[in-house]
A = this chain, B = another copy of it.
Amino acid sequence: MKTSAYAAQKAKETVRPFEIERRQVGERDIGIEIEYCGVCHTDLHFVNNDWDMSEFPVVPGHEIVGRVSEVGKEVSKFVVGDRAAIGVMVESCGECSFCIDGLEQYCAQGFTATYNSPSEDPGGFTYGGYSQRIVAHENFVLRMPDSLDVSATAPLLCAGITTYSPLRHWGVGEGMKVGIVGLGGLGHMGVKFAHALGAHTVMITTSPGKGEDASKLGADEVLVSTDPDAMAKEAGEFDFILNTIPVNHSVDPYLELLKVDATMCVVGAVEPLSQVNAAQLMFGRRRLAGSIIGGIEETQQMLDFCGEKNIVSEVELIRMDEVNEAFERMLKSEVKYRFVIDMSSLA
């Protein structure tokens, strides 16, 4: 059972189609014909081996939506033909306190990622969604609301849950002033969710030009972080800030915006921050936190919430053979706001 796929071989310049084998559909497995897969910044990190942990060939992609094409005999959640989705995880120990509490993303054994994780699957590593087909345990397969534009739902599986989970964890809702820093794949979902949750939502950006877009996405206000007067005026006013900047930066100007006891949660920059002024934390008992994706149950809640509130990602559909160009444009922030690969282009 083979399937055609693209993969990065040591560097994205050598991306090429090749054949991989998927595992047989086990008793509780689901086989999915992939329709769309979102392009996440993490994909590029793995393609470029930025974190020195890529196992080539890499098949990236963890924002996967498609149709169930096969179900194992013990599967109860899905039938063939259902729409289904897979996000960042395909397995976890299931026994640790985190897994039991629905926090598989913090599994004590480490979760099995949708790609590049050691696995008993053919090849010895998991292969992701830049592919025609995927097989996974039903516990890690999500139900999709029927009402939404399918191609625009793919990014919900990573960009969506990564922003939704901390907003919910820190209780964002009505009566709160919430900042979203950075308007990219994650940030634009953060704006949509914070708005839908009823918070006074402030887009915090270095680019005044992004104001109009932010308003369309649901921002009640735009704060230009390069304007010191504007920033000073809102110092100490925010109940929560979600920081989606994907690279190292000084968090100090944003910390100053927080109320006493308030939190800024970083979800983008998986790397050392070169400066954090402890005084900003101390004078206000503020907190700098981090968060990754969300648990499976919470991901399902997020998808259901999106169905209810009619929330999808803003996407630009591309063909599989345009992915290198898409990576380049993503690095230059030239995408509004997430590339999604139409997997029929791989046929």
Contact = CB atoms under 8 A, between A and B. Distances in A.
Identical copies of this chain, number: 2
Interface string A101-117: 00100101000000000
A33 to B, nearest CB: 32
Contacts of A273: 275-278
B272 A278 contact: yes
Contacts of A288: 276, 281, 287-289
A292 interface: yes
Interface string A123-134: 000000000000
A260 B263 CA distance: 16
A279 B268 CA distance: 9
A293 to B, nearest CB: 10
A287 B271 CA distance: 15
B278 A266 contact: yes
Q: How large is the interface on A (under 10, 10 to 19, 20 to 34, 35 or more residues)?
A: 35 or more
Interface in A194-246: 236
Main secondary structure of the interface of A (DSSP, over half): mixed
Given A278-B272, A279-B270, A260 B98 contact: yes
Contacts of A267: 282
A100 interface: no
A4 interface: no
A169 interface: yes
Contacts of A287: 263, 287-289
A154 to B, nearest CB: 22
Interface string A324-345: 0000000000000000000000
Nearest to A279: B270
Contact of A290 (B106, B169, B282, B292): B282
Contact of A270 (B169, B276, B282, B292): B282
Nearest to A169: B285
A106 B285 contact: yes
Contact of A281 (B103, B277, B278, B290): B290
Contacts of A291: 282, 285
29 contacts: A98-B260, A103-B260, A106-B285, A108-B236, A166-B285, A252-B272, A263-B287, A266-B278, A266-B281, A266-B282, A267-B282, A269-B278, A270-B278, A270-B279, A271-B279, A272-B277, A272-B278, A273-B275, A273-B276, A273-B277, A276-B288, A278-B290, A281-B288, A281-B289, A282-B290, A285-B289, A287-B287, A287-B288, A288-B288
Interface of A: 98, 103, 106, 108, 166, 169, 236, 252, 260, 263, 266-267, 269-292
5 closest A-B pairs by beta carbon, nearest first, are: A281-B290, A282-B290, A287-B289, A276-B276, A272-B277
